[in-house]
Copies of this chain bind each other. A is one copy, B any other.
């Protein structure tokens, strides 16, 4: 790391890292390309080599967010009989729901970026990343109890209902309309209702 006259290679990632920190601290409005350049010790025009736009920087943050959230949900969502706290399908869904809301609490501003209302047409990479997250939901649902098969129609319903429940709770918590604790209880309640509705036998 000796005296690099020109930055060498990882500026894009460094900018995104700083941006993530600023985002957590001051929200999306606090994210300025010039400030990020300053933090990276680079001229104010340098970010333009990696992001044509300020919006494209924010989009890249959103993509990262979707990926990070997806990884976290997959970590937590496996139906593992040996896992402490229950290896049932419902337990796995509960863990995913809880992790989703936790993510929204910790990174409320990032979450807002990921689910921002698009006036003009959205960035393609963001859309792909979002679809990837929904695909992760579907993977999770494929772990349901094989003795109670789910029709394709019902799996789709469950996926959407689950997404609405966790996203709604995330939105309410992120905007401080309810507390983080209330959010945790709420999403647990909602998930329980969903599981009992689709798997009455449990």
Contact = CB atoms under 8 A, between A and B. Distances in A.
Interface stretch (A71-79, A140-148, A172-180): A172-180
Given A164-B186, A169-B168, A116 B122 contact: no
B160 A164 contact: no
B117 A112 contact: yes
Contact of A164 (B115, B130, B172, B197): B172
Interface string A45-77: 000000000000000000000000000000000
A182 B156 CA distance: 11
Given A118-B176, A197-B197, A189 B161 contact: yes
Contact of A115 (B165, B171, B186): B171
A100 to B, nearest CB: 11
Contact of A193 (B167, B182, B197): B197
**Max chain B Cβ within 10 angstroms of own Cβ: one of A109, A112, A172:** A172
Interface string A119-149: 1001000000010001000000000000000
A117 B104 CA distance: 10
Contact of A190 (B108, B161, B187): B161
Contacts of A134: 177
Contact of A171 (B118, B167, B193): B167
Most buried by B among A27, A164, A166, A176: A164
A138 to B, nearest CB: 14
A25 interface: yes
Of A111, A118, A168, A178, most buried by chain B (CB within 10 Å of CB) is A168
The 7 A-B pairs at the shortest CB distance, nearest first, are namely A168-B168, A164-B168, A108-B117, A27-B119, A115-B175, A167-B168, A117-B174
